């Protein structure tokens, strides 16, 4: 998972780290009437952000490829055109979304241990389905 995470973080940082590129990307998303207006930053401190970042990049992958091709920087997004890498990326995106959902279900007031245990057992069954 680390190579996929590193590649996604590098891609997001390429877009967000330079002010001009970031503004151009937001303007590009607006011009193509994308559902989203920006990519999210990833922070190691908040591990739940990885799932949100992966999901947003997955949803914007076609727009990101178009943006970099328009800027003639296709090397920045070549992994988004690699089907093998995309399948790993899709799997980890889905897995992180399920982990985020489990985390949210386990939080909150009035949670009894049997409810939390049921959520954990259901998640374990999902993992077995993914493995099979």
Q: Are 59 and 67 in contact (CB under 8 A)?
A: no
- Check residues 29 and 42 and name the one with the higher pLDDT: 29
User: What is the residue range of 19's domain?
Assistant: 1-131
> What tens digit of pLDDT does each residue of 76-128 get?
888 999 999 999 999 999 989 999 899 888 888 888 999 999 999 999 998 99
Domain count, the chain: 1
Q: What does the DSSP 8-state code read for residue 78?
A: G
pTM for the model stands at: 0.82
DSSP 109: T
- 132: burial class by Cβ within 10 Å (0-12, 13-18, 19+)? exposed
Percent of the chain with pLDDT over 90: 54
Q: Does 25 have pLDDT greater than 90?
A: yes
Within the chain, residue ranges assigned H as helices are: 2-16, 19-31, 48-70, 83-106, 113-131
Answer yes or no: are the C-beta atoms of 119 and 102 closer than 8 Å: yes
Is it the case that residue 45 has pLDDT exceeding 70? Answer: no
């Amino acid at each position: 998972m680390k190579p996929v995470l590193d590649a996604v973080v590098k891609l997001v940082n390429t877009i967000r780290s330079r002010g001009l590129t970031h503004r151009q990307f937001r303007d590009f998303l607006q011009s193509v009437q994308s559902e989203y207006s920006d990519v999210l930053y990833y922070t190691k401190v908040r591990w739940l952000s990885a799932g949100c970042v992966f999901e947003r990049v997955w949803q914007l992958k076609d727009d990101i490829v178009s943006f970099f091709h328009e800027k003639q920087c296709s090397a920045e997004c070549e992994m988004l055109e690699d089907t093998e890498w995309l399948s790993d990326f899709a799997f980890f995106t889905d897995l992180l979304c399920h982990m985020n959902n489990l985390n949210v279900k386990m939080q909150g007031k009035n949670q009894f241990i049997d409810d939390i245990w049921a959520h954990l057992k259901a998640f374990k069954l999902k993992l077995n389905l993914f493995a099979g």
